[in-house]
Amino acid sequence: MSVGEVLDALASPDNAVRRAVELLQAGEVVALPTETVYGLAGDAGNVQAVAKIFAAKNRPHFDPLIVHVKDRAQAEQVAILEDDLTERLLEAFWPGPLTVLLPKRDSIPELVTSGSLLVAVRSPSHPVFRAVLEALNRPLAAPSANPFGRISPTTAEHVRLGLGDKIALILDGGPSRHGLESTIVYPLNGELHLLRKGPVTQEELEAFGPVKVTSAAGKKAAPGQLTSHYAPGKPLFLVDGPGRLRDRRQAGYLAWKEKPVGFAASEVLSASGDPVEAAANLFAALHRLDAAPVERIYAEKIPGTGLGAAIQDRLTRAAAGR
Ligand code: TXA
Ligand code: MG
């Protein structure tokens, strides 16, 4: 198999899933589509496979990986599920973009959790990822399939450009529907600690109990939630609007609703101001601006709560990376 081979998993799912499962069984890593972003998957119980994930991404070992499971029963094999709040969350949001921190079992190597006694678990809804989990019948560790600290991939082509020379196979399952990484929560004593904002919004979680947003101070709980993350190669600056920006011929502009004039490159997240559409477009727009002949990128601050807050979180981190 050639390095960075891309198989169309929508056109010929059986062949694509079979090749992916063969490689995963052999302890290799494979990029797979999920409904949030593309993931770089390896057998969560195989330390060598997990080590390959860290190596391909150039990811520091203090940043733990999410374990992806088929269903609640497989989650039981990797974590202890015993509180009522957790059960209600899984019932409501799985399969889907919610990751839950739970006490880990011994089947999960400490390399996966960076030594933590908690493991992050989620059950993705993307049919291609689910077909691989079903055929393999093993949990998969999978971080986003981008070089560490860079923009997350929402298409197979993003993965190929970022990691194509380091991994054997990429399954193309179309553009990721949500376009933002999963929401991460830690249920503790009846309270939900929100460690990463994502497609399941804070407002939705509040129906299940009090939610505490764990910001920068939460680094200890989620070591990978570094302030600087999701960064394009170009410096990114947050702005309130195009206003009087003067260096437009050298700059790219990421707009929320309205296309600005005069910039060397510009992207509009959602002309109708729909946060769902904006989230789905975010990383692809950043990838395009990063590839454009510009020296810097201006990104408009995104208003509001819910998904808007999750998008703004990614932009703030991208700006911190400059
Ligand atoms: O949507 C997603 O969650 C995607 C897809 C592929 O599933 N995955 C993803 O993984 O975004 P990654 O590795 O890029 O981000 C996972 C985050 C990191 O910030 C990491 O620190 C945190 O989850 N995390 C993972 N395991 C943890 C643990 N045991 N304790 C605390 N934080 C954890
Ligand atoms: Mg990531």
What are the pLDDT tens digits along the chain (322 aa)?
567 899 999 999 999 999 999 999 999 999 999 999 999 999 999 999 999 999 999 999 889 999 999 999 999 999 999 899 999 999 999 999 999 999 999 999 999 999 999 999 999 999 999 999 999 999 999 999 999 989 999 999 999 999 999 999 999 999 999 999 999 999 999 999 999 999 999 999 999 999 999 864 444 445 446 566 677 889 999 999 999 899 999 999 999 999 999 999 999 999 999 999 999 999 999 999 999 999 999 999 997 889 999 999 999 989 987 6
Q: Evaluate whether 163 touches 146 at the Cβ level (below 8 Å).
A: yes
Closest Cα to atom 32 of ligand 1 = 222
| Mutational test site, ligand 1, from 58, 59, 61, 66, max ligand atoms within 8 Å of CB | 66
Nearest to 302 by CA among 274, 322, 262, 283: 274
Q: Which two tokens stand for residue 225?
A: 């939630």
Phi, psi angles (nearest 5°) of residue 89: -65, -45
Residues 140, 23: Cα–Cα separation, whole Å:
13
Residue with tokens 């400490």, as numbered in its chain? 110
Would you call 165 helix, strand, or coil by DSSP?
coil
pLDDT at site 299: 97
Phi-psi region of 209 (alpha: psi -120 to 50; beta: other; left: phi over 0): left
In the reported structure, the alpha carbon of residue 5 is separated from the centroid of ligand 1 by a whole-number distance in angstroms of: 25
Closest Cα to atom 10 of ligand 1 = 143
Q: Which two tokens stand for residue 59?
A: 């990811």
In the reported structure, the alpha carbon of residue 318 is separated from the centroid of ligand 2 by a whole-number distance in angstroms of: 12
Residues 318, 322: Cα–Cα separation, whole Å:
7
List of E strands, the chain: 5-8, 30-32, 39-43, 66-68, 98-103, 118-122, 140-141, 169-172, 183-188, 191-196, 211-213, 236-239, 251-255, 265-268, 296-300
pLDDT at site 217: 41
Q: Which domains does the chain have, with CATH numbers?
A: 5-219 (3.90.870.10), 236-319 (3.40.50.11030)
In the reported structure, the alpha carbon of residue 23 is separated from the centroid of ligand 1 by a whole-number distance in angstroms of: 23
Model confidence pLDDT, tens digit, residues 199-230: 999 999 999 999 999 864 444 445 446 566 67
In the reported structure, the alpha carbon of residue 12 is separated from the centroid of ligand 1 by a whole-number distance in angstroms of: 29
* Neighbouring C-beta atoms of residue 230, cutoff 10 Å: 26
pLDDT at site 219: 47
pLDDT at site 231: 78
In the reported structure, the alpha carbon of residue 264 is separated from the centroid of ligand 1 by a whole-number distance in angstroms of: 35
In the reported structure, the alpha carbon of residue 177 is separated from the centroid of ligand 2 by a whole-number distance in angstroms of: 17
Residues 234, 321: Cα–Cα separation, whole Å:
9
- Rounded to two decimals, the pTM is 0.93
| Residue 278 burial (10 A CB sphere; 0-12, 13-18, 19+) | buried
Residues 190, 51: Cα–Cα separation, whole Å:
35
Nearest to 159 by CA among 150, 112, 194, 84: 150
In the reported structure, the alpha carbon of residue 126 is separated from the centroid of ligand 2 by a whole-number distance in angstroms of: 18
Closest Cα to atom 15 of ligand 1 = 143
CA atoms within 13 A on the CB side of 6: 17
Atom of ligand 1 nearest to the CA of 122: 7
- Residue 307 identity (one-letter amino acid): L
Atom of ligand 1 nearest to the CA of 229: 19
- Residue 182 identity (one-letter amino acid): S
Q: Which two tokens stand for residue 92?
A: 């409501």
Atom of ligand 1 nearest to the CA of 99: 3
Which helix (H) or strand (E) element contains residue 51?
helix 47-57
Would you call 79 helix, strand, or coil by DSSP?
strand
pLDDT at site 15: 97
Residues less than 5 Å from ion ligand 2, measured at CB = 144
For residue 297, what are the CA distances in angstroms to 94, 219, 235, 302?
A: 36, 27, 6, 15
* Neighbouring C-beta atoms of residue 16, cutoff 10 Å: 25
| Sign of the alpha-carbon torsion through 110, 117, 35, 194 | negative
Residues 70, 138: Cα–Cα separation, whole Å:
8
Closest Cα to atom 29 of ligand 1 = 119
pLDDT at site 216: 44
List residues near ligand 1 (CB under 6 A).
34, 36-37, 39, 63-66, 99, 101, 113, 116, 118-120, 124, 142-144, 181-182, 184, 221-225
